[in-house]
A and B are shown apart, each in its own frame.
Chain A
Amino acid sequence: QVQLEQSGGEVKKPGASVKVSCKASGYSFTSYGICWVRQAPGEGLEWMGWISIYNGDTNYAQKFQGRVTMTTDTSTSTAYMELRSLRSDDTAMYYCARVIGTTYYYFDFWGQGTLVTVSS
């Protein structure tokens, strides 16, 4: 069965970086994209960007341009999301999700989430 297993929670100081991993199993990793969505405590969902596993192309939300990097390691079927220059308002649950579709894209399987806390 399709599974996305994310790395554990992190506590970081303002200005630091965090790298969250998302290990995929149960499907052909290179056949789908991976997106990252975050959710601040008590708030809604925010799309951060996505990466094509097939060719490594990325598309980041303008809000995160210059601070986020999404990568993959096809040898381990793992996607990564690095966020730099962390601020307190980056405190959130970060989810990876599989992107499915050829015309109509949507996110059909999700990781369990990784809580990133930014605090001095």
Chain B
Amino acid sequence: DIQMTQSPSSLSASVGDRVTITCRAGQSISSYLNWYQQKPGKAPKVLIYAAFRLQSGVPSRFSGSGSGTDFTLTISSLQPEDFATYYCQQSYSTPYTFGQGTKVEIK
């Protein structure tokens, strides 16, 4: 199984801050990397697929980059509705493993 490791596990930030979350794969996964946002009590929602492609309807302040083993999710200007947990997930090979999550909290 491909292990996905996110950092940090949690962070505190203020509205308007630029936030970066990192995801590292245990082996090269090319660009087969997706990012999801999950709010408490809700199902996850896809933000980014194929490393950098923005899902339809997702605000442009979200962006993804990287390939191979190292990836980042960036929120250019954090908004109140962005406080949530973020997960990366690889779709290079089954099982399609997720990272452990990064909780973004209000500072």
Contact = CB atoms under 8 A, between A and B. Distances in A.
Interface centre among B36, B43, B95, B98 (most CB of A within 10 A): B43
B87 A45 contact: yes
B94 A61 contact: yes
A108 B44 CA distance: 9
Contacts, number: 62
Interface of B is mostly: loop
Interface stretch (B10-18, B19-27, B45-53, B69-77): B45-53
Contact of A106 (B34, B43, B94, B95): B34
Interface in A68-120: 95, 97, 101, 104-108, 110-113
A47 interface: yes
A104 B50 contact: yes
A107 B50 contact: no
B7 interface: no
B45 A110 contact: yes
A101 B43 contact: no
Interface in B36-87: 36, 38, 43-46, 49-50, 53, 55, 87
A29 B78 CA distance: 36
Contact of A108 (B32, B46, B87): B46
Contacts of B53: 104
Contact of B43 (A49, A59, A62, A112): A112
30 contacts: A44-B98, A44-B100, A44-B101, A45-B36, A45-B44, A45-B101, A46-B98, A47-B89, A47-B94, A47-B96, A47-B98, A49-B94, A59-B94, A95-B43, A101-B49, A101-B91, A104-B31, A104-B49, A104-B50, A104-B53, A104-B91, A105-B32, A105-B91, A106-B34, A106-B46, A106-B49, A107-B36, A107-B46, A111-B43, A112-B43
Interface of A: 35, 37, 44-47, 49, 59, 61-63, 95, 97, 101, 104-108, 110-113
